[in-house]
Amino acid sequence: MTGPKWVVLFAAFFGFVGVAIGAIGAHGLPEQLKSQGFEPEVVAKKLDQCEIGVRYQIAHALAMLAIGLSPITARSALARAACGMFLTGTLFFSGGLYAISLADTIGHWSIVPTGGMMFLIGWALLFAAICRISRDGGN
């Protein structure tokens, strides 16, 4: 491992949790929602929200894993900050969608778009880190 251990640990954790929630969403959630009396179109929307949360969580877990295993995190504070944005974005974006789809509640409506903005900031930070390393003579 060339980067900070926390990056790879969170990547593995988010990967595990993403697969677990994906399995719940695919197998147990539809019947649970139907048994709670939700209309079919509401069930479909909640399942879609859960799947979107899983998709973004897995994508950013893989991004964090790649960054954490590359030498860029050891060389660049911007790359480490990008991972921090991916971590927080996952908690807000995917976590918010899970709260809506699994518990039918959310702390505040803005948590999901705030998480999405953190993802965008993370990608911009990663772009800046790569540009800076390339400019400073790295590969």
Q: What is the pLDDT of residue 74?
A: 82
Predicted confidence at residue 103, as pLDDT, reads 81
| pLDDT(5) > 80 | yes
pLDDT bucket at 41, cuts 50 / 70 / 90:
very high
Q: How many CB atoms lie within 10 A of CB 40?
A: 10
pLDDT digits (tens, 9 = 90+) for 47-62: 999 999 999 999 999 9
Angle at 45 between CA 99 and CA 26, to 5 degrees: 75
Query: What's the pLDDT tens digit per position in 74-133?
Result: 889 999 999 999 999 999 999 999 999 988 777 777 899 999 999 999 999 999 999 998
Q: Is 42 helix (H, G, I), strand (E, B) or coil?
A: helix
Q: Is residue 15 pLDDT above 80, yes or no?
A: yes
Q: Is 59 exposed, middle or buried (0-12, 13-18, 19+ CB in 10 A)?
A: middle
Outline where 24-93 has alpha helix (H). Answer: 29-35, 40-69, 72-75, 77-89
Domain limits, the chain: 5-134
The pLDDT value given to residue 51: 96
77, 91, 85, 94: which is closest to 124 by C-alpha?
Answer: 85
Asked whether the predicted pLDDT for residue 139 surpasses 60, the reply is no
What integer pLDDT is reported at residue 62 of this predicted model? Answer: 98
pTM: 0.90
